[in-house]
Amino acid sequence: MKNHLLGTAAVITLWAGAAQADYTLHVLHINDLHSRIEAVNAFDSTCSAEDAAENKCFGGIARLATKVNELRDSLTAAGQNVIFVDAGDQFQGSLMFTTYRGAVEAEFLEQLKPDAMALGNHEFDDGPEGLADFLDKVTFPVISGNVDVSQSNVLAGRVQNHVVLDIGGEKIGIISALATDTTETSSPGNTVIFQDEIDSLKADVATLEAEGVTKIIAVTHVGYNRDQEIAAMVPGIDAVVGGHSHTYLSATDPKRAGPYPTWVSQESGAMVPVVQAYAYSKYLGHLELTFADDGTLLHAGGNTILLDASVIPDPAIEARVAELAGPIEELKAKIIGETSEAIDGSRETCRQGECQMGNLVTDAMLDRVQGQGVTIAITNGGGLRASIDAGPVSMGEALGVLPFQNTLSTFTVTGATIVAALENGVSGLEDGAGRFAQVAGMKYTFDPAQPAGSRVSDVMVGSGDDWAPIDLAADYNLVSNNYMRGGGDGYRMFVSASNAYDFGPDLADVLADYLAKTQSYTPYVDGRITRK
């Protein structure tokens, strides 16, 4: 095993006297683009023409292409070594995916030419068949070491464990892992088998080291917290380039979620840098790694690069994006209502407590089925994918919030099942899991200091104009979405519900109709969810 340096001070000291044999690798990276093919606004939804005119747009595939090509070409021309990797979740999140089902993402990635792409959980949103269609259209390696697809009739032999790149005469090993709860957060089916991420990565490191590969980078889709565990527990890896948690890391911005890179120490004293670049094409990560001749990591630095209006979109790609957007522009532009203030649907809020968008969506769901004897609505915070700014609200914005084409589900469960569902919802707080339960017709309290499974208390349900403690033995009629009713995001307790009907209207249509009905909406929180 390589003998890495012990700390940053040592890195700086030895880096100052680096020998000519040292090797520097530039790693350009993205993660969680989520079909933001078009530029986004400050709320991570599709940028309007007005915002574009005022230079308030970020990202988009044309702007990303400009920056990737600019950096890759300039570094290569300067004799530097550079790779470009994608840490997964190209699928799902905009009308581009809803309309073209991954073909657009494949088309543009082929032009960006990543050296490797890690599988993200949302790559399974259309099942193994949807991923297979995507793989049909790309020529770069798509990898995930802990995902066994050998039993799938459409994926067998098509997802590699790892890849070895020859960059500047050196072998660079790229290994990968996908979050094991993908069986709950997406639709991989029964023929795709998951192995523990750390066990899998250790095995792949051993394989590469046995082949003489001394520079190994993990490109993962497991989330920032799990990435740090991987960095601490997998000897032999030199860096972790991650995704899944949409974490904004920066070397300079005080508003960051963590430093870029985040240094993690291993038991041996080795230091491993962890990086991530937020999401939605808003940033491009640029990690610099310098190795000694024996493969020891000497230095890591770099930063995330904001892709704002100063980055001019690639004109050919921008024209193609406009062409693809044409057929859906009329639908997107339709005004469905108005909001007096911005509606907060950020993942930072909606996966940790009551949020304005959660209240709006669950209120809309409950309103839709109020004539059916349904008294409680529950939806997963991870299903809310954008905020909405103040003023007129378009159908495109509604679809940006609820892009998954989930349908309304109604069913009957006991009070005990509801409490179990709420416990599931707050069980992944530490990782910002999307299972957090936004509700209507109900109140509850949770305590993050308690162990998962024992965090929920004071569950109250509507009783006329008042509130009453939930009766664990009583039956209640709920409205949720078909994804949760089918066990998604850990809500397996809903699978055996009685009187289930999973084929209601699309949630985005329910939201649009509710906003049209209210006309001028004012966002709010009212204390229905209390965090101790």
DSSP code string of 243-311: -SS--BEESS-TT-SEESSEEEE-TTS-EEEEE-B-STTSEEEEEEEEE-TTS-EEEEEEEEEE--TTS
- Residues 489, 385: one domain? yes
Residue 367 lies in a domain: yes
Residue that is last in its domain, among 317, 348, 373 = 317
Q: How many residues does the chain have?
A: 532
The strand pair at 142-143 and 408-414 is best described as unpaired
Residues spanned by the domain of 346: 335-531
Cα distance between residue 3 and residue 6, in whole Å: 9
Cα distance between residue 469 and residue 289, in whole Å: 57
Cα distance between residue 469 and residue 486, in whole Å: 27
Cα distance between residue 442 and residue 376, in whole Å: 6
The pLDDT value recorded for residue 20 is: 52
- Residues 193, 99: one domain? yes
The pLDDT value recorded for residue 403 is: 85
Residue that is last in its domain, among 317, 348, 382 = 317
- Residues 342, 395: one domain? yes
DSSP single-letter state for residue 491? -
- Residues 361, 268: one domain? no
Task: Give average pLDDT by consecutive 10-residue segment, the chain, 532 residues.
Answer: 38 40 94 95 85 95 98 98 98 88 98 98 95 98 98 97 97 98 89 98 98 98 97 98 95 97 97 97 98 95 98 98 91 92 96 98 96 95 96 93 88 98 97 96 98 97 93 98 93 95 88 94 98 96
The pLDDT value recorded for residue 26 is: 98
Residue 195 lies in a domain: yes
Residue 309 lies in a domain: yes
Phi, psi (deg, nearest 5) at residue 109? -65, -35
- Residues 354, 395: one domain? yes
Residue 368 lies in a domain: yes
Q: How far is CA 178 from CA 25, 322, 403, 420, 517, in A?
A: 24, 33, 22, 27, 42
Cα distance between residue 73 and residue 96, in whole Å: 29
CA 355, distance to chain mean position in Å, is 19
- Residues 265, 358: one domain? no
Predicted structure pTM score: 0.80
Look up residue 168 and give its two tokens: 């500047």
Burial 21-52 (b: 16+ CB within 10 A, else e): ebbbbbbbbbbbbbbbbbbbbebbbbbbeebe
User: 172 forms bridges with which residues in the sheet?
Assistant: 165, 215
CB atoms within 10 A of CB 516: 15
- Residues 389, 268: one domain? no
Residue that is last in its domain, among 248, 283, 317 = 317
Q: How far is CA 494 from CA 126, 416, 420, 421, 501, in A?
A: 21, 12, 10, 8, 12
- Residues 100, 199: one domain? yes
CB atoms within 10 A of CB 187: 20
Residue 328 lies in a domain: no
- Residues 161, 295: one domain? yes
- Residues 176, 45: one domain? yes
Whether the CB-CB separation of 182 and 91 falls below 8 Å is answered with: no
Cα distance between residue 346 and residue 356, in whole Å: 9
